[in-house]
Amino acid sequence: MATLEECMTALDGFVGKLAAADAARDLDRSVSCRLPDLGQVVAGRIARGAVHDLAAEPDGPSLPKADIRLTMSSDDLLALTSGRLAFTPAWASGRVKLEAGLRDMLRLRSLL
């Protein structure tokens, strides 16, 4: 199991790359990644081509839902961000879950 610090670093890079892509430059959306094995949710915002205010909180029902929500294990997050795990097969097999509105899904499809 990966540490929360490793996951924060990996997510900052992963979400930062998504935010910097041309297709995402005009996005202004909240984003979260639930890490069930760590009992944490890392949340932030994609805006103006960058990721902002990325912070971890204990998982729980009182957390507001982000516009774009990812769920995966900490090890899958590190594998995904290091290139050892491809997003599409991981998503198709259920190892990675992505929830977002239709417009965001269509935009993210070209980025992932």
Question: Measured in whole angstroms, how far is the alpha carbon of residue 84 from the centre of its chain?
Answer: 17
Contact residues for 41 (Cβ-Cβ < 8 A; gap 6+) = 32, 33, 34, 35, 56, 57, 58, 59, 63
Q: Tell me which fold the domain 4-104 belongs to.
A: Nonspecific Lipid-transfer Protein; Chain A (3.30.1050)
Q: Flag whether pLDDT at 3 surpasses 80.
A: yes
Residue 110's pLDDT is: 61
The reported pLDDT for the residue numbered 107 is 72
**Radius of gyration of the chain from Cα atoms?**
13
Total residue length of the chain:
112
pLDDT tens digits, 41-98: 999 998 888 888 899 999 988 888 999 999 999 999 999 889 899 988 998 999 999 9
